[in-house]
Chains A and B, each alone.
Chain A
Amino acid sequence: MQRRQTSAAWLFLAPFLITVAVFFFYAFARAAYYSVTDFNLFNTPKVIGVKPYADVLGDPSFRRALGNSLVFAVLTTALQTVGALLMAVALNRRLRGLTFFRAAWYMPSITSSVVITLIFLWLFQRRGVANYVITQAQAYAPLTLTFLLFLIGVQVTQVLLERRRALPAGWFDPALGVTSALLATAVTAALAWIGVISAREVPPFDYQYFADKWITLGGVRILSIPLLVVVIQNTFTTIPTLMLFFLAGLQNIPRALYEAAEIDGATPWQQLTRVTVPMLRPVTFYVVTVGLIGTMQMFDQVAVIGSAAPGDTLITLAYYVYANTFKAGAAPVNLASAAAILLAALILAMVAAQRRFFPSEAS
């Protein structure tokens, strides 16, 4: 009986185990082997020791790829984790049309990343939507500033009036906010109609995003502008997936904790930082781990943008591996393998460090 059960288990596990054995363990072993040989895709590999590793570490492109990957991973993981958490908290309330919002927010994650990358390329062209929006914002700045000024003024006056009547009113009271917004709109429209304020003539905002431009820190190139665009894009597409994890985690936090906090007079911000965040720690650990691994392996966006961005502005470790394997004819596959092994080691080290210093258990 026992034997039969065991063999049945093996049988069910077999498809998965075989796939892992062939496409992971075998492939990994081969890459490790190639990384110490002179393999070029066509020759019979001959072991030459650690020279490929030395060559890879001495390659400026590899160092740039390493820098790009690390900056990208840290920045994107941080942004998407915080963004996903906030969005999950927002969508965890009982709102009208909640299902619609949950579905709508999830759209970027289920759209192909190649398609999204093409859309982003188009958005951030020199005559693209991003530059157009900035131009329009500059042109209509007098109107928007007037609106904002009146909005704040009216809101402050209203809240102060309410408080004088000893009514509890917060600075962001939505009901008062709507009145203030309507009033401010009316005033702005009136001023524009009389001709006191109007849109300005501004030259089109002309910024080239996919160019060899860098954000530097003390003369060291930290982040290229093209990579920043990819950071924004990746954050945009990944937040919804991670949000789902947080939403699931939020369901497991007992209501009683929030009630107790409210009785103790905790503000919504305190409830978020003192109850929600600590209770979500296991989910956060998972989200950060998945985020780090995913971002360290980022490849598709870079491949799609390809030569639209110059030189090494976008190169990542995964792309470096690809670019060194598929060239014209014989290729330095040993360098690519060495880089792949280094990438794997780096991800492993990052996750290990994260496990060591950021406990995954809820405190």
Chain B
Amino acid sequence: MKKCLLLSFALLASAHAQTTVKINGYGGTDPAVVGDLINRFVKPALAKDKITVVYEPLQGDYNKSLTTLLAAGTAGDVFYLPAETLDGFVATGKVLPLNGLVNTSPFIKSLNTAFTRNGRLYGVAKDFNTLTLVYNKDLFDEAGVKYPDSTDTWATLQTKLTTLKQKLGPDYAGICLQPNWDRFGAFAFATGWTQFDSKGKTNLADPRFADSFNFYTGLARGKVGIQPSEVSEGWTGGCLKTGKVAVGIEGNWVVNFLRDNAPNLKFGTALMPKSTKTGKRGNFLYTVGWAINSGTKNRAAALKVLNILTSPQVQQYVLEQGLAIPSRTALTSNAYFKKTDPGAVNSRLVFDGADDGNVRAFTFGPQGTDWSKPINEALAAVLSGQKSAADALKKAQADMNAFQSR
């Protein structure tokens, strides 16, 4: 009798079994955005499968939090996977390769490449960003200098900035230069330089690297280019906000920032300048993907959720809300990109940047963010005038060698 009762209970339970798919992602505004997507698109589609979806944001440092959750075996079934830290997470063996499980052909190719290691695809791009030149129209008008445009090379851009600086005087600057890889790297790529050679080593002594390094740091000469800290700011967006700096190198995220923090600033956007020697642009792809936990017990349900979250309907909705730039090629012709307001123009150029010149994923390789440290230190030392470019590069190469031989 007792056995019978237990058995019927078990049957009852399985008949009503709800699969819960847990998603881990960023905090901030993401819980509202993803929550909205879940309610609008995921829930209606999965109601009949008895799959419920919950979004658990990880506040603070996302990468650290996800690391501890993965190590403890309590991470979500589906989670955000930033391309820049992909290698570290792939090395954990906790990310499910998606080859054969997801159809990747509708997505921008370079984005798929960004999530691929040794032929295995570990994530599907949720959205992406690239760098553009964002400029203050008023300052160019006042100096009587032509706006930066998509035909500019490093040399012509430098001339424009130098003239602007001469016309406007000591209180103004031509360009804001962050002393780090996340901005400078785009210039290094324009020369055709690559981050790692076939043995996985980084060569900073490469003349192409030195060429871009000299250009970037050379902009600081005569205070044409300044670091954000020189105007008491932490990043390029802050530089532009002050209205004292004419150009910043930023992605689409700067649009909302400027709208909130400098509503009267008239800004325009141009593509990154081309290398004077190679005639090519360089750019970073900043992207976050959807990935699946290899230890999940609900693989089929997790895949369904992932497919809905990257579906054309969801991406169109996200684009039209101005939330992010979609990763599907088919959306190139979306009406939103044809608008002429500064935000939409910026979105279009960011979208175009993904496919123009030497575009590489923003990543640090298998040893993580510390890879960029020698480069950042060299940039900071030269931009602040503490070292010559040659000395700084020599030290950076020595530090890089020590780092990579670990």
Residues of A at the B interface (CB closer than 8 Å) are 40-42, 55, 58-61, 126-127, 208, 211-212, 310-311, 326-332, 335
Residue of B nearest to A310 (CB): B380
- Sample of 20 more A-B contacts, CB < 8 Å, known A310-B380, A328-B66: A40-B91, A41-B71, A42-B70, A42-B71, A42-B91, A55-B406, A60-B402, A127-B232, A212-B380, A212-B384, A311-B373, A326-B64, A326-B68, A327-B88, A328-B85, A329-B67, A329-B85, A329-B87, A332-B367, A335-B406
Given A126-B232, A310-B380, A328-B368, A41 and B92 contact (CB-CB distance below 8 Å): yes
Q: How many whole Å from B395's CB to the nearest CB in chain A?
A: 9
User: Is B369 in the interface zone, CB < 8 Å from A?
Assistant: yes
Question: Which of B63, B70, B399 lies in contact with A327, CB distance below 8 A?
Answer: B63
Residues of B within 8 A of A60 (CB): 399, 402
Residue of B nearest to A308 (CB): B234
- Considering only residues 165-220 of chain B, those with a C-beta below 8 Å from chain A are none
Residue of B nearest to A52 (CB): B406
Residue of B nearest to A330 (CB): B91
Q: How many whole Å from A123's CB to the nearest CB in chain B?
A: 16
Residues of B within 8 A of A327 (CB): 63-64, 67, 88, 368-369
User: Is B35 in the interface zone, CB < 8 Å from A?
Assistant: no
Q: Considering the complex of A and B, which 10 residue pairs feature the smallest CB-CB distances, nearest first?
A: A329-B88, A328-B85, A328-B63, A330-B91, A329-B89, A42-B92, A328-B88, A55-B406, A326-B64, A329-B92
Given A55-B406, A59-B402, A328 and B384 contact (CB-CB distance below 8 Å): no
A61-B66 Cα distance, complex, nearest whole Å: 25
**How many pairs of residues, A versus B, come closer than 8 Å at their CB atoms?**
73
Q: Is the CB of A208 within 8 A of B406?
A: no
Residues of A within 8 A of B144 (CB): none
Residue of B nearest to A307 (CB): B234
A61-B406 Cα distance, complex, nearest whole Å: 13
Q: How many whole Å from B370's CB to the nearest CB in chain A?
A: 8
Q: How many whole Å from B374's CB to the nearest CB in chain A?
A: 9
Residues of B within 8 A of A331 (CB): 67, 88, 368
User: Is B52 in the interface zone, CB < 8 Å from A?
Assistant: no
Residue of A nearest to B84 (CB): A328
A328-B80 Cα distance, complex, nearest whole Å: 12
Q: Is the CB of B373 within 8 A of A61?
A: yes
Residues of B at the A interface (CB closer than 8 Å) are 63-64, 66-68, 70-71, 82, 85, 87-94, 229, 232, 367-370, 373, 376-377, 380, 384, 399, 402-403, 405-406
Q: How many whole Å from A81's CB to the nearest CB in chain B?
A: 35
Residues of A within 8 A of B63 (CB): 327-329
Q: Is the CB of A42 within 8 A of B369?
A: no
Residues of A within 8 A of B70 (CB): 42, 329
Residue of A nearest to B386 (CB): A212
Residue of A nearest to B65 (CB): A326
Q: Is the CB of A329 within 8 A of B369?
A: no
Residue of A nearest to B399 (CB): A60
Residue from A55, A211, A212, A327 with most neighbouring chain B CB atoms (10 Å): A327
A3-B171 Cα distance, complex, nearest whole Å: 84
Q: How many whole Å from A205's CB to the nearest CB in chain B?
A: 14
Sample (16) of A-B pairs whose CB atoms are under 8 Å apart: A41-B92, A42-B71, A42-B93, A55-B405, A55-B406, A59-B406, A311-B380, A326-B68, A327-B64, A327-B368, A328-B369, A329-B85, A329-B92, A330-B89, A330-B92, A332-B367
Residues of A within 8 A of B92 (CB): 41-42, 329-330
Q: How many whole Å from B128's CB to the nearest CB in chain A?
A: 19
Q: Is the CB of A328 within 8 A of B67?
A: yes
Residues of A within 8 A of B368 (CB): 327-329, 331
Question: Which of A212, A329, A332 lies in contact with B90, CB distance below 8 A?
Answer: A329
Q: How many whole Å from A2's CB to the nearest CB in chain B?
A: 46
Residues of B within 8 A of A311 (CB): 373, 376-377, 380
Q: How many whole Å from B293's CB to the nearest CB in chain A?
A: 13
A310-B88 Cα distance, complex, nearest whole Å: 24
A189-B274 Cα distance, complex, nearest whole Å: 67
A311-B90 Cα distance, complex, nearest whole Å: 27
A331-B71 Cα distance, complex, nearest whole Å: 11
Residues of A within 8 A of B402 (CB): 58-60
A55-B403 Cα distance, complex, nearest whole Å: 8
Given A126-B232, A310-B380, A328-B88, A42 and B94 contact (CB-CB distance below 8 Å): yes
Residues of A within 8 A of B370 (CB): 61
Residue of A nearest to B398 (CB): A60
Residues of B within 8 A of A41 (CB): 67, 71, 92
Residue of B nearest to A40 (CB): B91
Q: How many whole Å from B387's CB to the nearest CB in chain A?
A: 12
Residue from B67, B87, B373, B376 with most neighbouring chain A CB atoms (10 Å): B67
Q: How many whole Å from B303's CB to the nearest CB in chain A?
A: 22
Q: How many whole Å from B8's CB to the nearest CB in chain A?
A: 43
A61-B67 Cα distance, complex, nearest whole Å: 23
Residues of A within 8 A of B373 (CB): 61, 311
Q: How many whole Å from A39's CB to the nearest CB in chain B?
A: 11
